[in-house]
Amino acid sequence: MTAVTLAFLLTGLVLGVVAMLHGTERRALPHGAPHERRSEHNPAAEPSALFNLSSVAAFAFAFGLTGYLLTRYADWPWYAQLLVALAAGAAAYALQALLIARWAIPSARADQVDTRFLLQGTLARVVDAAPAGGVGRLVYTLDGAEYQLPVRAMDDQALAVGTEVVIDHLDEGVAVCEPWAIVEQRL
């Protein structure tokens, strides 16, 4: 039983790290252009409070740790150790599911991001020149799709066709950008 509980303990640790690095939300296709989003919360990607990677990791870790400690330090029959370890795993699973249902999901639903900065740092290319103080057009690629936006320079200088720019923010649907050559100098 020691090997089994250690396997569960290590599996729980690995799954917990994977859940921390990749999150628990389901992968969903984006709706519309990224600059049209109103929130980072995507209902289609909302995780299930009961069936998710972090809850499984909590169960595996608690079951493995409790089972290992019982096999090492308690002189109980194997079935009693198994029942206590299962109870500990179930309690951890329930607490993790409760945490997701009562805190993580509601806070994600309530999160409202400033849409002006959703594209901040995105590289783009000017396709229609922007005269000094005027507006042109740029193209940027995100998640394999190409999008166009009106563009103007941060310092109201002209932007020539083909200029690589970095989006700083959106101002009433117009991308306010800075040429990549200037940003690169600061780096």
> If you average pLDDT over residues 153-175, what whole number do you get?
91
Residue 29 has pLDDT above 50, yes or no: no
Cβ(100)–Cβ(140) under 8 Å? no
Residue 65 confidence (pLDDT) above 60: yes
What's the mean pLDDT in 23-48? Answer: 59
Q: What is the pLDDT of residue 186?
A: 86
pLDDT at 149 over 90: yes
Give the residue from 88, 46, 36 showing the smallest Cα distance to 63.
Answer: 88
Q: What is the mean pLDDT of residues 107-134?
A: 85
Q: Which fold has domain 116-186?
A: OB fold (Dihydrolipoamide Acetyltransferase, E2P) (2.40.50)
Whether 102 shows a pLDDT value over 60: the answer reads yes
Going by C-alpha positions, the residue among 44, 35, 178 that lies closest to residue 114 is 35
Distances (CA, A) of 69 to 3, 4, 24, 87, 110: 12, 12, 29, 14, 41
- pLDDT beyond 90 at 156: no
Give the per-residue pLDDT at 42.
62
Q: Give the DSSP letter string of 16-47.
A: HHHHHHH-SPPP----S-GGG-S-S--GGGPP
The string of pLDDT tens digits covering residues 166-176 is: 999 998 889 99
Q: Where are the domains of the chain?
A: 2-113, 116-186
DSSP assignment letter at 147: E
By three-state DSSP, how is residue 123 classified? strand
Read off the pLDDT of each residue in 94-102 and give the average, rounded to a whole number. 93
Among the listed residues 107, 96, 98, 88, the one whose alpha carbon sits nearest the alpha carbon of residue 53: 96
Q: What is the mean pLDDT of residues 18-23?
A: 86
Q: How far apart are CA 111 and CA 97, in angstroms?
A: 20
pTM for the predicted model, two decimal places: 0.59
Average pLDDT of the chain to the nearest whole number = 87
